[in-house]
Chains A and B, each alone.
Chain A
Amino acid sequence: KNQVEQSPQSLIILEGKNCTLQCNYTVSPFSNLRWYKQDTGRGPVSLTIMTFSENTKSNGRYTATLDADTKQSSLHITASQLSDSASYICVVSGRGSQGNLIFGKGTKLSVKP
């Protein structure tokens, strides 16, 4: 069964610190991997999209990495800000049905002052 597992489930860090969120997947064949940020009560907003040929992609203070061999991705947040408090969701697309965007359960990040 195609799955996307994220860790940790939740994370608390102090403002200004860095953190790394993990995503492991078993989706095969693989098409692309996305990271979304979802603020409480809002819809998800795209941070990065990577295909199997891309190893790293940055969007401001967010840097995503992808290892298609080990089927692992990470999202690194640098110099965290209070506004980074949100859920971060990893989404993997297979080459099957278009509806086959497999969502992880997300990591809930809390940035404290």
Chain B
Amino acid sequence: GAGVSQSPRYKVAKRGQDVALRCDPISGHVSLFWYQQALGQGPEFLTYFQNEAQLDKSGLPSDRFFAERPEGSVSTLKIQRTQQEDSAVYLCASSLVSDVRLAGEGSTGELFFGEGSRLTVL
């Protein structure tokens, strides 16, 4: 596709339910990031993949959060036993390069974001 696609765009879950959020990155993009954005706040890092390898999951708030990218393309963020504090927009971003720290001259390292999945836990 032309951009990063996320589904569902909106999800309402009852407390205790499990949810799965999907991210389709731009084809060929190596790096994939998940972020959590609370209302009125900036995105907060959750986890990062380089191809199928999850290289950093230090931002996952608890062991109820799990992310995978088994074939190095589509990624799924799963939240088990959802709680009200999990209500947020979950953003996915992808980058063509393997190292986004090299952004700028000669290497864009640009991050392309999806529209996000808004999760509301009742």
Which A residues form the contact surface with B (CB < 8 A)?
Answer: 4, 31-32, 34, 36, 41-46, 49-51, 53-54, 89, 93-95, 97-101, 103-106, 108
Which residues on B sit within 8 Å (CB–CB) of A106?
A: 41-42
Across the interface, B113 reaches (CB within 8 A) one of A41, A43, A49, namely A43
Contact in complex: A44, B43 (CB < 8 Å)? yes
Contact of B88 with A by CB under 8 A = no
Chain B minimum-CB-distance residue to A53: B105
Question: CA A4 – CA B42 in complex, angstroms?
Answer: 10
Contact of B52 with A by CB under 8 A = no
Contact in complex: B33, A93 (CB < 8 Å)? no
Contact in complex: B56, A51 (CB < 8 Å)? no
Which residues on A sit within 8 Å (CB–CB) of B91?
A: 43-44
Which B residues form the contact surface with A (CB < 8 A)?
Answer: 4, 31, 33, 35, 40-45, 47-48, 50, 55-56, 58-59, 91, 93, 99-105, 108-116
Question: CA A53 – CA B115 in complex, angstroms?
Answer: 32
Q: Which 8 A-B pairs have the closest CB atoms?
A: A43-B113, A51-B104, A103-B42, A99-B56, A31-B101, A32-B103, A99-B48, A49-B103
- A–B Cβ pairs within 8 angstroms, 20 of them: A31-B101, A32-B103, A34-B111, A43-B91, A49-B109, A51-B103, A51-B105, A54-B104, A93-B101, A97-B48, A97-B55, A97-B56, A97-B58, A98-B50, A98-B56, A99-B33, A99-B45, A103-B42, A105-B41, A106-B42
Chain A minimum-CB-distance residue to B108: A49
